[in-house]
């Protein structure tokens, strides 16, 4: 397990994983998070867990990956909602969730009605990580347009409020810059450990090969029952090797619970 580290020293070696919808076709050698050996493979978007994933696209040109965790709720990375030129969050109506194989059996694009991002999240133009921002704030939940039928229960991926142990097998997929029309995934990666900043915020280090466009993609664990669950959300990649850092699902779950409790206390 990696020893706890100061995040300021990591920022220069990391890259946020949002991609642009109009990026030219890129080679693996030019992209962060992949390493020297190609291990990703195309996966079937009509079977679990990949049928629960889709692309998150904004009018500002960002393109990431998201996963259905509720009938109309998509989990992704907060920096996927940034305008890369200004580092400001786009308006909800400027974002969409795109699925190649939707529940009705045909492609669909669903408008985002509203969203919430991790407490304290912000970034610099590029976008790139902003110093002093809690690293585990890079997540967002998108509420999809109510005019669209809700996703059925068998499409929803549970978010587990636990920290996956180092060595736990993972899968990570997304719509990535060098293969923008395919959902590709690393099916044989692992949790390497955790890093902690000076304020106690924890991030998950993984070995999954994934690059620009995979931000927001869920780090998936398959339980002994065969069920797939979300252990984290892809956030940052290492520049010269496979793998990167993710927001642990436990941090997202805890923040969501705190927000619900605050709302209850504030209610008249």
Q: What is the pTM of this model?
A: 0.86
Which residue ranges make up each domain of the chain? 7-266
Distance (Å) of CA 224 to CA 68, 144, 153, 172: 22, 31, 20, 18
DSSP code for 242: B
Convert the pLDDT of each residue in 3-30 to its tens digit: 333 333 333 334 444 444 444 343 444 5
Bridge partners, residue 114, by sequence: 143
**DSSP strands (E only) in 71-139:** 73-76, 95-99, 108-117, 123-124, 128-129
> Within its chain, how far is the Cα of 173 from the centroid?
10
Q: Topology of domain 7-266, per CATH?
A: Thrombin, subunit H (2.40.10)
Convert the pLDDT of each residue in 116-174 to its tens digit: 999 999 998 877 778 889 999 999 999 999 998 899 999 999 999 889 999 999 999 99
Q: Which residue has the higher pLDDT, 254 or 193?
A: 193
Q: Can you give the pLDDT at residue 152?
A: 92
């Amino acid at each position: 397990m990696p020893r706890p580290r100061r995040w300021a020293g990591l920022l220069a070696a990391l890259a946020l994983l949002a991609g642009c919808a109009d990026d030219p076709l890129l080679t693996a050698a030019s992209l962060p998070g992949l390493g020297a050996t190609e291990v990703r493979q195309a996966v079937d978007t009509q079977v679990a867990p990949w049928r629960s994933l889709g692309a998150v696209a904004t009018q500002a040109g960002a393109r990431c990956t998201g996963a259905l965790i509720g009938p109309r709720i998509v989990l992704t990375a907060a920096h996927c909602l940034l305008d890369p030129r200004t580092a400001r969050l786009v308006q909800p109506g400027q974002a969409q969730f795109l699925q190649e194989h939707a529940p009705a059996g045909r492609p669909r694009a669903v408008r985002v009605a509203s969203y919430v991002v991790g407490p304290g999240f912000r970034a610099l133009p590029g976008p790139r990580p902003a110093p002093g921002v809690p690293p585990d704030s890079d997540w967002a939940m998108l509420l999809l347009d109510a005019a669209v039928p809700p996703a059925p229960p068998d499409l929803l991926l549970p978010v587990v409020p636990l920290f996956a142990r180092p060595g736990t097998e993972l899968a990570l997929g997304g719509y990535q810059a060098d293969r923008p029309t395919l959902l590709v995934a690393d099916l044989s990666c692992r949790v390497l450990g955790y890093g902690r900043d000076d304020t106690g915020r924890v991030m998950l280090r993984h070995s999954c090969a994934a690059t620009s466009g995979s931000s927001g993609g869920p780090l998936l664990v398959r339980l002994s029952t065969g069920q797939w669950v979300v252990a984290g959300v892809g956030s940052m990649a290492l520049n010269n090797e496979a793998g990167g850092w993710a927001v642990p699902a436990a941090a997202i779950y805890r923040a969501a619970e705190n927000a619900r409790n605050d709302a209850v206390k504030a209610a008249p």
